[in-house]
Amino acid sequence: MSAYYKMTTVHGYQLDEVVSSVQKLIRRGMADEAIWFAIEMNESGFGAYCWRRLLIIVSEDVGIGDPMAAPIVCSLWQMSIEIWKHDKANAADKERVKWNGDALLEAVWYLAHAAKSREMVDAYAVIEQRVAKGERMTIPDFARDQHTASGRAMGRGIDHFNEEGDKLEPLAEIDGNKWCQAWEAERPTAKDAAPSA
């Protein structure tokens, strides 16, 4: 297969420019225009390529700005795969089957309207750069518990784990946390685990 930058779409656009347009338009919230170019990709037989780019956009451009983007887009993609498999099985030309346009456009529309954040992408880039320069993060003391060799060497057991190792912050209070309260009252301690004399 030829390199994507050398390919053209059914209406004569350069494919790499169409792909770039889809992503840049989604970034700017320009849903109608992004949909236009997504259709151009699909009609040109590049529906799978469009979906791959949308999955990148979910992480790269939307990220934690809209935590529902990943499950929604992935669900639409999975639906589209199932429809595509059925259509491909019944098509005369197995290589040129278009992907389900409705699911594809719903994903494009959703991403264009989603709140966007590059915080995790930026975090990865910054930390990767700092590590390359020799910076290191210190292991927190509370992580050295009964599940680590260093914690066991320090004599840390179930009591340390109960006090430090399983802390949750912020803790969600759901239904009054009745089971959490019961577990805190009934959980085993080092005294319970000690052999009887």
Q: What is the pLDDT of residues 91-149, one digit of tens each?
A: 776 666 678 889 999 999 999 999 999 999 999 999 999 999 999 999 999 999 999 99
Per-residue pLDDT tens for 52-64?
Answer: 999 999 999 999 9
Please tell me which of 7-11, 176-180, 190-194 the model is most confident about, judged by mean pLDDT.
7-11
Per the CB < 8 A criterion, the answer to whether 73 and 54 are in contact is yes
Q: Is the dihedral of CA 24, 28, 34, 35 positive or negative?
A: positive
Instruction: Return the H-helix or E-strand segment holding 167.
Output: none
Report the top-level CATH class of 4-121: mainly alpha
Q: What is the pLDDT of residue 132?
A: 98
| Percent of the chain with pLDDT strictly greater than 90 | 71
Q: What is the pLDDT of residue 184?
A: 86
Residue 173 falls in which region: left (phi positive, over 0), alpha (psi -120 to 50) or beta = beta
Q: Where are the domains of the chain?
A: 4-121, 141-190
Q: Name every residue whose Cβ is closer than 8 Å to that of residue 51 and which is 6 or more positions away in sequence.
A: 77, 80, 99, 104, 107
Q: Residue 196 pLDDT > 70, yes or no?
A: no
Residues 136, 100: Cα–Cα separation, whole Å: 47
